[in-house]
Amino acid sequence: MESFIVSFSAVAIAEIGDRTQLLALMLAARYRRPWLVLSAVLCATLSNHLIAGLIGVHLGRFLTPVRLDAAVGISMILMALWTLIPDKLKEDSAPQRSSAAWVAAFITLFVAEIGDKTQLATLALAAAYSNLAAVVAGTTSGMLLANVPAVFLGQAFATRLPLRAIRLSAAAVFVVLGIVFLVRSLSAAR
């Protein structure tokens, strides 16, 4: 359960104001089909995070628990720093044709998530926890939680969010998680 809760909360907070959320907002505004965009978010996130999780599990097998906790702790602190940098999305990033809206939204969202902080967090969390299903379910659920309001409420919602305060809060969560993993690493090393 811990792996699900940590994964869920880390990604839900980190996703607010992220480029993937901005892209989902833009796709929903363009296609005016929130359920279509939300299903594309779900499928793109699930497939992307499953791949990241599988890589994380594979990498986690080569590390001792002490080194793994240290690596995850350091990566969480780096995520905190990355979270402080606001994301921007170019206007021409959304697909132009609506005839294949779901496929276009899926591909666009999948590609936008590659190398994103939530994907890297999924990789690190999957390396740290033995329950891949709980990590992927947590990160995917966190992504959906952050994207549902953006998809359904659109631009009016986006312009009213205190994104700076949210980024600072997300960074604080990542720092706390990083410290927890580093403390766990140091305790196990003794």
For 107-143, how does the pLDDT look when each residue is reduced to its tens digit (9 = 90+)?
A: 888 887 877 788 888 988 998 888 999 999 999 999 9
Residue 43 in this model has a pLDDT that exceeds 90 = yes
User: Which amino acid belongs to residue 148?
Assistant: V
Q: What percent of the chain has pLDDT over 70?
A: 84
**In Å, what is the CA distance from 183 to each residue of 66, 137, 167, 186?**
10, 26, 24, 5
For 8-29, how does the pLDDT look when each residue is reduced to its tens digit (9 = 90+)?
A: 998 888 887 777 887 788 778 7
Q: Which two tokens stand for residue 23?
A: 């892209």
**Burial of residue 112, with CB atoms counted within 10 A of its CB: 0-12 exposed, 13-18 middle, 19 or more buried:** buried
Domain span at 95: 2-189
Count: domains in the chain: 1
Nearest to 24 by CA among 160, 146, 167, 122: 146
Q: What is the pTM of this model?
A: 0.69
pLDDT recorded at residue 54: 93
Nearest to 136 by CA among 71, 79, 53: 53
Max Cα–Cα distance, the chain, nearest Å: 60
Alpha helices in the chain (DSSP H): 2-15, 19-31, 34-60, 65-83, 101-113, 117-128, 132-160, 163-189
**Burial of residue 13, with CB atoms counted within 10 A of its CB: 0-12 exposed, 13-18 middle, 19 or more buried:** buried
- Note whether 30 and 94 are within 8 A (CB): yes
First to last CA, the chain: 27
